[in-house]
Amino acid sequence: MSALFSPIELRGLKLKNRIMVSPMCQYSADDGVATDWHFTHINSLSLSGASVFCIEATHVEAIGRITPGCLGLYSDACEATLKQIIASVRKHSTAAVAMQLAHAGRKGSSARPWDGGQLLAEGHGGWQTVAPSAVPHKEGEAAPHALDRAGMVRIRDAFVACTKRAMRLGIDAIELHGAHGYLMHQFLSPISNRRTDEYGGSLENRMRFPLELFDAVRAAFPHDRPVGMRVSSTDWVEGGWDLPQTIEFVRELKTRGIDWVDASSGGVSPLQKIPLGPGYQVPFAEAIKRETGVTTIAVGLITEAKLAEEIVASGKADMVALARAMLYDPRWGWHAAAELGGVVDAPPQYWRSQPSTQKALFGKTTFGAR
């Protein structure tokens, strides 16, 4: 039996395989509201063969968006449009639907990647960003406002409000975005967190606000539905956040009932030096799993079925999450199942699509036509 196509449970969520479609920003929303692009994108990849589709970074307040085109869940309009999309997914797909809740902090107010990705000035499509400290992400950029306690409470309450909206939408799982240089990661990393109060300085203090956010979301979401977190395991910058600190953070999350950790890296500094290659972040998931016992998801240039199988079969991680590979091949899970001897769910309209050599792929007998 393929390890990749074996079942796994995350709290009360039962999954038929170990594949997740990673949350991928589409930069195509209108004031946080999903558009026809999201309808097409989400419905398509919910049929990929993965057991979980994770909706892209969904921001908890307007100034928490990365770009003006980023998705949000901070208004009734945001919620209403996503409700329609998720209802469509449920008609045709058996995949669980997760959502990544996020706040960009000082990396907000940016142009879309295809428009250059640089910081947008106020009055030119941008807004005043916030962060743990008044330290810009990049030299020469306008500084964010350092959050005071009232601002932190506002953001915590925004995460809770979005969690409740996600619950009303029937979201099966929540992933908090604690990676890639966004707000939670900014609190964790000494590169971006220069505070001198109880939220800065020591590792214990730098972890405090992300842990408060996790506790608030976990308390607001139904007990039988899982909550995980994506973390940056290292900043790839000397003197920054690193794997030993990540392990300590995950240990704290474990005591609070975290259901998985999605082990990514980087994003807090333009000075990072990342050695890219297939599966280059897998050792982070492996170390976190070994040292904490928490369920881990491996990410990072995992494109081939055999590599994904090896990661899970060897115990380096419990699941894999794919992004660009899914965009390139929206039926990646089907093709992986055919290669590894697994079975996927597919809508009956597509049962005839499998080659004659793969009749067991969908667990169905190919039907005929008169």
Q: Which two tokens stand for residue 282?
A: 């897998």
Q: What is the sign of the dihedral through the CA atoms of 47, 48, 53 and 59? A: negative
318 domain-assigned: yes
**pLDDT for position 35:** 98
What average pLDDT does the segment 93-111 reach? 98
- Other CB atoms within 10 A of residue 47 CB: 22
Taking the C-alpha atoms of residue 36 and residue 38, their distance in angstroms, rounded to an integer, is: 5
Is 48 among the domain residues?
A: yes
- Would you say residue 204 lies in a domain? yes
Q: Give residue 318's pLDDT.
A: 98
Smallest CA-to-CA distance from 78 within 172, 151, 168, 180 is with 168
In this model, does residue 370 exceed pLDDT 50?
no
pLDDT of res. 368 = 38
Encode pLDDT of 125-140 as tens digits: 999 999 999 999 999 9
Dump pLDDT digits (tens) for 32-62. 999 999 999 999 999 999 999 999 999 999 9
* 366 has pLDDT over 90: no
Residue 351: its pLDDT value, please?
A: 85
Is residue 257 very low, low, confident or very high in pLDDT (cuts 50, 70, 90)? very high
Do 80 and 87 meet the contact criterion of CB atoms below 8 Å apart? Answer: no
- Domain presence at residue 220: yes
pLDDT confidence of residue 360: 63
Assigned token pair, 155: 């953001």
CATH code of the domain covering residue 305: 3.20.20.70
Provide the residue range defining the domain that includes 172: 8-358
Does 369 fall in a domain? Answer: no
The answer as to whether 54 is a domain residue is yes
Please report whether residue 236 resides in a domain.
yes
Distance CA 308, CA 342 (A): 13
pLDDT > 70 fraction of the chain, expressed in percent and rounded: 96
Can you tell me which residue has the tokens 């915590």?
Answer: 156
Q: What is the pLDDT of residue 359?
A: 58
- Number of independent structural domains in the chain: 1
- d(Cα 48, Cα 2) in Å, to the nearest integer? 18
Would 325 be classed as within a structural domain?
yes
**CA-CA distance, 100 to 188, in Å (whole number)?**
18
pLDDT digits over 327-362, tens only? 999 999 999 999 999 999 989 888 888 776 665 677
pLDDT above 70 (res 119): yes
Report, as an integer, the average pLDDT of 253-263. 98
CA-nearest of 263, 176, 163, 179 to 223 is 163
Query: What is the average pLDDT value for the chain, to the nearest integer?
Result: 95
> What is the C-alpha separation between 51 and 95, in angstroms, rounded?
5
Instruction: Please confirm, yes or no, whether 182 is among the known catalytic residues.
Output: yes
Residues 6+ apart with CB under 8 A from 297: 20, 228, 260, 261, 262, 263, 285, 317, 318, 319, 320, 321
Residue 367 is predicted with a pLDDT of 36
Predicted structure pTM score? 0.95
Catalytic residue among 182, 199, 280, 350: 182
pLDDT digits (tens, 9 = 90+) for 180-198: 999 999 999 999 999 999 9
Instruction: Work out the average pLDDT over 168-191.
Output: 98
